[in-house]
Structure 1
Amino acid sequence: MPLFMDVHENLPGATAADVAGAHAKDLAIQEQYGVSYRSYWVDEANGKVFCLVEAPDAESANKVHQEAHGLVADRIHEVVEGS
């Protein structure tokens, strides 16, 4: 299954705790879309969040965010995992 890194920008004031709550909401519904959110990173100082997700396509990954909490990604990049 393809692997994607999504980028959320312009989230001033978003804390690691806020993002943990949003991630939990993603996990609760991801199976409906055949998606698996694997990890995320928070850059509180710059208001950015990065999510690593296995998904059939970028649209499916973004649908999970839209339904779970409404914070869709600004950009989604297909990536290849290295060692």
Structure 2
Amino acid sequence: MPLFMDVHHLGDGVTMDAVAKAHQADLATQEGHDVRYLRYWVDESGGQVFCLVEAPDADAANLVHREAHGLVADAIYQVREGA
């Protein structure tokens, strides 16, 4: 399954708590889309969020975000894991 890193530029006010809730919504929504959200990172001072997801394609990954909470990614990159 392809692996993607998505980037959200949300600006001021991004908090770990809010992102944790959005991630839980992703987990609750991903079933049925062949998508699996794995991890996320938050840059509170920079207002950015990064999500690691297994998905058949970038559109499927973004569809889960759209349905779960509406915070679609500004960019999505297909990545490969290294050591």
Contiguous gaps of at least 5 residues in structure 1: none
**Uncovered stretches (5+) of structure 2, i.e. residues with no partner:** none
- The letter of the residue matching 1:11 is G
Coordinate RMSD, CA, aligned:
0.7
Aligned residue pairs total: 83
1:25-67 Cα distance to aligned partner (Å, 9 max, x none): 0000101210000000000000000000000000000000000
Give the share of equivalent positions with the same residue, in percent: 64
TM-score norm. by structure 1 comes to: 0.97
Instruction: Give the C-alpha shift of residue 11 in structure 1.
Output: 3.0
Q: Distance in 2 between matches of 1:74 and 1:42?
A: 15
Secondary structure of the structure 1 residue equivalent to 2:32: helix
Instruction: Name the structure with the higher helix share.
Output: 1
Match of 2:8 in 1: 8
Residue 49 of structure 1: aligned partner: 49
Q: TM-score, normalized by length of structure 2?
A: 0.97
